[in-house]
Chains A and B, each alone.
Chain A
Amino acid sequence: LQLQESGPGLVKPSETLSLTCTVSGGSISSSSYYWGWIRQPPGKGLEWIGSIYYTGSTYYNPSLKSRVTISVDTSNNQFSLKLNSVTAADTAVYSCARDYDSSGSFYEWGQGTLVTVSS
């Protein structure tokens, strides 16, 4: 199974960050697997943003919940992240990953993509 993030590498402050994760080598509709977004600011630790099940059920980090939307497109084996009203503090490497049973066991990860928030 492989995951690949795609989207703009530069976003202006106050705008919306949008990323897509394309899954290959397996079905995003597999039962028991959740699909998550995790970010890592430069030189800092990992932060879980949120996860989605193929049915569309979503779960978000309470600290980001008001700004985050995660959606799934089962026909294209993709899921997406939108983070609105971004600031420089949202500059990070954003990674998508597969989690078994929403347990925090992310077995497979994408390579990650750096998104910089700057005017």
Chain B
Amino acid sequence: QSALTQPASVSGSPGQSITISCTGTSSDVGSHNLVSWYQQLPGRAPKLMIYEVSERRSGVSDRFSGSKSGNTAALTISGLQAEDEADYYCCSYAGGSTVIFGGGTKLTVL
């Protein structure tokens, strides 16, 4: 079970939009609409932001959105703000009640 593939880092200026990709296989991301995204601030527990590919958790800003095409899911953050600077992880159901995380992406707000 190899980790889902995410870019190690992305960056953007305040107000811009960025997209973080999450590539899996036909056994995980491609087979189920069960991809979630987590935001992790330094020293903090991960926070669920998006579930079931594109459903935003209650209380999460609508600047965060999720999508999926084939074996690749994506998290888009629009109107980038300084407070968005964090590590982001994708997670996918992988069958047999197992899940798999992505390697994580560090978002820097310039």
Tell me, yes or no, whether B12 is within 8 Å of chain A by CB. no
CB–CB B93/A103 < 8 A: yes
CA distance A62 to B96 in the complex (A): 11
CB–CB A59/B45 < 8 A: no
Tell me, yes or no, whether B86 is within 8 Å of chain A by CB. no
A55 neighbours in B (Cβ, 8 Å): none
- Of the candidates A46, A51, A109, which one forms a contact with B97 in the assembled complex, judged by CB atoms under 8 Å apart? A51
CA distance A60 to B3 in the complex (A): 15
- Of the candidates B48, B51, B57, B98, which one forms a contact with A59 in the assembled complex, judged by CB atoms under 8 Å apart? B98
Range, interface on chain A: 20 to 34
CB–CB A59/B96 < 8 A: yes
Tell me, yes or no, whether B54 is within 8 Å of chain A by CB. no
CA distance A109 to B36 in the complex (A): 15
Tell me, yes or no, whether B104 is within 8 Å of chain A by CB. yes
CB–CB A46/B101 < 8 A: yes
CB–CB A46/B89 < 8 A: yes
B21 neighbours in A (Cβ, 8 Å): none
Tell me, yes or no, whether B46 is within 8 Å of chain A by CB. yes
CA distance A11 to B48 in the complex (A): 30
Whole-angstrom distance between the Cβ of B86 and the nearest chain A Cβ: 13
Tell me, yes or no, whether A31 is within 8 Å of chain B by CB. no
- Of the candidates A47, A62, A103, which one forms a contact with B36 in the assembled complex, judged by CB atoms under 8 Å apart? A103
B3, B45, B48, B93, most chain A CB atoms within 10 A: B45
Whole-angstrom distance between the Cβ of A3 and the nearest chain B Cβ: 9
Chain A contacts to B: CB under 8 angstroms: 34, 36, 38, 44-48, 51, 57, 59-63, 95, 99-100, 102-107, 109-112
What are 12 A-B residue pairs whose CB atoms fall within 8 Å in the complex? A45-B3, A45-B102, A48-B100, A61-B98, A62-B98, A63-B1, A99-B99, A102-B99, A104-B36, A105-B48, A106-B36, A107-B57
Name the 8 nearest CB pairs between A and B, nearest first: A104-B99, A109-B45, A45-B104, A105-B51, A59-B97, A102-B97, A104-B91, A46-B101
